[in-house]
Structure 1
Amino acid sequence: MSSSPEPAASFYDEIGGEPTFRTIVDTFYAGVAEDDVLRPLYPEADLGPANDRFRLFLMQYWGGPTVYSETRGHPRLRMRHAPFAVTPLARDRWLLHFRAGLDAAALTPEQDSRFWDYVTHAAQFMVNSLE
């Protein structure tokens, strides 16, 4: 009798699943809510829907449930951010708050490094204005 090997755990599972992503994204948006550079980029008075979208996106990206694409379609990140001037300063502030989220999650150094590498590249990719 042969048994099939267990599938490798996704990064989503490895770092603790949805509770970890909630910690990261909730901490991130707590910073955004008080940030004079980033807060004006969010047209909604309530940051809750943005929090949900971002958390679902990150969860799906890292191997979790596919609710994001099922409800919103392809991420099309640059297109979705195109209406907003994402400057180098906005990128840096975004990374500051994301760093706080990762710190709050207390991942292993290897996990933290993997996540941080992704978000730093993604944040640079979103820059669409130099002023």
Structure 2
Amino acid sequence: MKTKIIIALIGVISIISSWQNNVNAQESKKGMVKVTILYPNGEDKTFDMDYYSNKHMPMLKTLMGDSLKFYEIDKGISGRTPDEPMPYLAIGYLYFDKLSDYQESFGPNAEKIVGDIPNYTNIQPILQISEVLH
């Protein structure tokens, strides 16, 4: 009985360790390329966060493959003060090792990616490509 418990505990520890390694691997590093996709707030702007989080961004990961190291999603909740509306309904971040990784993985999939935008928003996104410095 003790042997089975020890084996089970080792298995749980192994799973937790693997999960922590995956989480730690999803950190930006100096020199990486970050593609920021901003969805400005405004009158009559709509955004389906559920679709974006559960369908659009996972689709990007599938289409871009190993070139896309990881992605993050921010959901706007407030402006600078409680009375100010949030400036962005959502912000997406895509992380790549280098600019060419983004260009080579986005280019062949651009039509499918851009074509999916009307499924979750009526906003024309703003895109910023940056180098991670810190």
* Same fold per superposition (TM over 0.5): no
TM-score by structure 1 length? 0.38
Q: Which has the higher helix share?
A: 1
TM-score by structure 2 length? 0.38
State the structure with more CA Rg: 2
